[in-house]
Chain A
Amino acid sequence: MPKNMPNINELKKKSLWVRKETLKIYKITSDIRLASSLSPVEIFVALYYGKILKYNSKNTQWEERDRFIISKPHGAVSLYPILADLGFFDKKELKNVGQNGSILGGIPDLTVPGLETINGALGHGLGVACGIALGLKKKKSNSRVFVLSGDGELYEGAVWEAIMFASQHHLNNLILIVDNNKISMLDFCKNIIDITPLEEKFKVFKWKVKTVNGHNIEEVYKSLKELKAEKSNCPKVLIANTVKGKGVAELEKDVLCHIRVLKENEIINAIKRLNED
């Protein structure tokens, strides 16, 4: 068992709690991307509660922090309860998401304490992260740059410009996590443009690749820990195989879950079912 291994059961409970909180936010405003926010929950929980990320909620610009760039921020509403719980901002804000004057909008951006960048338009996060990683190396900093990207997002050409750049410049302080939920807005990715085999693609681009079940919190935690400590001189990617809408049956089975609007009773039932888990 690795040193300082967090209690996996606690992380599982946290994941369940984050899903419920995200549904509660959805109850306040349905104008968020619920299904995309449910697939990366274990990734967020491992990074924050597993203490993979170095952060300081009271000093968000702390120089030694790890930088976390969320390149698919539509799917990061589930980060709101985590950031509130860890003291980045007041928990009361969670009841206010999307309301007039709230500090928390439908797509998290850099005005939210704890977020580094704005990424509502897809395909930019990895490139900006490369610049940050380069800057950190120049400063001889030990901080790492984590990036969360969607698999559908990999259709954007600029992502591949960054993928090539990262290996050319040996950005081994850069760790990309692909929330590989296999569904874009309108269809399964394989029906739009099949990007498999993804692992091989990253390998030929000279990245270190690891694949996990993105909902197995223990696997996600251990892989991130391993990639963070890994000493080779190449950038690293964790392909986290996930389920879009994870935890809500109606969404899990619907290929159009990105745009599916849940009815009030469906939300209440989903929370109830999660309570029974």
Chain B
Amino acid sequence: MKTEQLKTMRDAFIEGVCQKMNKNRSIFFLSADFGAPALDKIRNNFKERFINVGIAEQNLINIAAGLALEGFTSYAYAIAPFITMRAYEQIRQNLSISSQIKPVNVNLIGVGAGLSYDLSGPSHHCLEDISIMRLLPNFMIFSPSDWKLAKHFVNFSINVKTPKYLRFDGRPLPPIYKKINNKILEKGFSELSKGKKVCLVSTGFMTHLALKVAKEIQNVGVIDIFLLKPVKENLLFEQLKKYEYLITLEEGFINNGGLDSLISKILRDHQSDIRVKNFGFNDKHIFEVGDRSYLHRLNKLDEGSIIKTIKGRIKN
């Protein structure tokens, strides 16, 4: 992969929003004192519609909600664990509950999903967001694996008038998708690699790891799930049922409502006997210091551990 293709999801997405703001006067971009290279253009070009609310995530959500009630499309931008967890009640009351009665188009952009902020420690790790955001009715959760998906989501974010949580990885990553169209986006998942018996089911950053594993071991499938809510469950099951063994991969706490729960629920509903192994973090915070791959190794979420599991427990 060429290094020049490395890009952060937030830059790709914000560039797209910036373009839209030129013509679409009803877009507001709010930040809780959090920046991005691509954001400088919005800050300079749209001084009236870019607002830094300060380090105040609760108010960030409330202002965004108020603007949305007046018919504006608003983007609320902050670090993922803070925008979701600091302001959870604001999100619940003014976005999730309100949007059941009135259109509320607020797009929460959370940067730093999973262990993106590896060195910053457990306060900055974001391992709960999938579970807690999936709980909220009327929400859409977008968890892209590359910047191309993120970029394509811009139109979607304007046109679909519901509250959304966009969980973006914090690091520049290579693209995975070659071509994206609305059909792919609306489906919410994509089988990136076809396998025989085993399939890795992943979201966000972990899809990169899944693809590495699939390169190492032949006949391992990879399904990237980027719309974690709503999920086209029947359609997804059609894809899953071709396999005998599924491995879910997420940078989040497992057995607590994340991607693993989403898959188990679908299998249960279809009375499926497909076996599943969940990879993620166990029920404890991570204080160990180190980079992402080191922390993955410590928690047996690295490529080697996944390959070992596939080889040891499954006969292809």
Contacts and interface: CB of A to CB of B under 8 A. Distances in A.
Contacts, number: 96
Interface string B43-61: 0000011010110101101
A227 interface: no
A93 to B, nearest CB: 18
B56 A130 contact: no
A133 B66 contact: yes
Contacts of B65: 127-128, 131
A135 interface: yes
A135 B93 contact: no
Contact of A138 (B48, B62, B101): B48
Given A110-B102, A135-B70, A117 B94 contact: yes
A118 B61 CA distance: 14
Interface in B80-113: 89-90, 92-94, 97-98, 101-102
Contacts of A165: 53-54, 56, 59, 63
Interface string A133-164: 11110110000000000000000011001101
A151 B93 CA distance: 21
B243 interface: no
Contacts of A121: 89, 92-93
Given A121-B89, A138-B72, A164-B54, A131 B62 contact: yes
Contacts of A254: none
Contacts of A164: 54, 56
A118 B97 CA distance: 8
B93 A124 contact: yes
Given A110-B102, A165-B59, A134 B67 contact: yes
B138 to A, nearest CB: 13
Given A119-B93, A158-B62, A158-B90, A132 B101 contact: no
B64 A124 contact: no
B176 interface: no
A116 interface: yes
A117 B62 contact: no
Nearest to B58: A158
Contact of A131 (B69, B92, B101): B69
Contacts of B290: none
Contacts of B71: 135
A243 interface: no
Given A118-B97, A121-B89, A132 B59 contact: no
B54 A127 contact: no
Interface string A157-196: 1100110110001000000000000000000000000000
Interface of A: 110-111, 116-121, 124, 126-136, 138-139, 157-158, 161-162, 164-165, 169
18 contacts: A110-B98, A124-B89, A127-B61, A128-B66, A128-B94, A130-B62, A131-B62, A131-B69, A132-B67, A133-B66, A135-B69, A135-B70, A157-B58, A158-B90, A161-B53, A164-B54, A165-B63, A169-B51
